[in-house]
Amino acid sequence: PNPATSVKLVLLGEAAVGKSSLVLRFVSNDFQENKEPTIGAAFLTQKCTIGSKVIKYEIWDTAGQERFASLAPMYYRNAQAAIVVYDVTKPASFIRARHWVKELHEQASKDITIALVGNKYDLVEQDSPEDEENNMRKVSVEEGQNLADEEGILFFESSAKSGYNVNDIFIGIGSKIPES
């Protein structure tokens, strides 16, 4: 078997968008309805097989609360990959995500692989997208995709709750990571 390649990955995004929940789904295939806010940051690892290559993700799950924002550079400085998360029902979280992507492009490693992720897809009304009143979606797929295209990064919508697209984020990043 191939030896695993270690990849340092950081998650960034506003408080309560579901960063820790995405990690919990990816690492333990689990979900908690009332997950406690992260304090500082949490570290977890998980292996991921992509074709013939095995990646061992070393994951820094940062705290989104504003009082922890100054710690973020410590975690993204050496990162080879980043997941910037927003909540598709929270426009302010999308604005914050845009800022994180710009900060990464200015301050992080030049060859960092970034994925923009619109989480909580399960809250979007699937049957009647035109039903503005009841639809909780506040950030359109196009807005997310346009930002990702402008910045030249990956884009996914996901649900840590249902599991929708969660593995695909890590497989997508792993497929784009430059061989070291």
Where does this chain bind ligand GTP (CB under 6 A)?
13, 15-21, 32-35, 37-38, 63-65, 119-120, 122-123, 159-161
80: contact with Mg ion by CB under 5 A: no
Judged by beta carbon distances under 5 to 8 A according to partner kind, the member of ligand GTP, Mg ion, none in contact with residue 138 is none
- Quote the tokens at residue 10: 């950081």
Beta bridge mates, 84: 12, 116
Residues from 7 through 66 that contact Mg ion (CB under 5 A): 19-20, 38
Looking at the Cβ atoms of 92 and 146, the one nearer to Mg ion is: 92
Number of residues that bind Mg ion (CB under 5 A): 3
Query: In whole angstroms, how close is the CB of 65 to Mg ion at the nearest point?
Result: 9
What is the C-alpha to C-alpha distance for residues 167 and 27, in angstroms, rounded to an integer? Answer: 10
Query: In whole angstroms, how close is the CB of 45 to ligand GTP at the nearest point?
Result: 17
Judged by beta carbon distances under 5 to 8 A according to partner kind, the member of Mg ion, ligand GTP, none in contact with residue 144 is none
In degrees, rounded to 5, the angle at the alpha carbon of residue 147 between the alpha carbons of residues 75 and 65 is 40
In degrees, rounded to 5, the angle at the alpha carbon of residue 145 between the alpha carbons of residues 38 and 129 is 90
Report CA-CA distances (Å) from 46 to 25, 53, 63, 132, 166: 11, 14, 19, 39, 13
What is the C-alpha to C-alpha distance for residues 125 and 118, in angstroms, rounded to an integer? Answer: 15
Query: In whole angstroms, how close is the CB of 68 to ligand GTP at the nearest point?
Result: 8
Looking at the Cβ atoms of 49 and 71, the one nearer to ligand GTP is: 71
Site residues for Mg ion per CB under 5 A: 19-20, 38
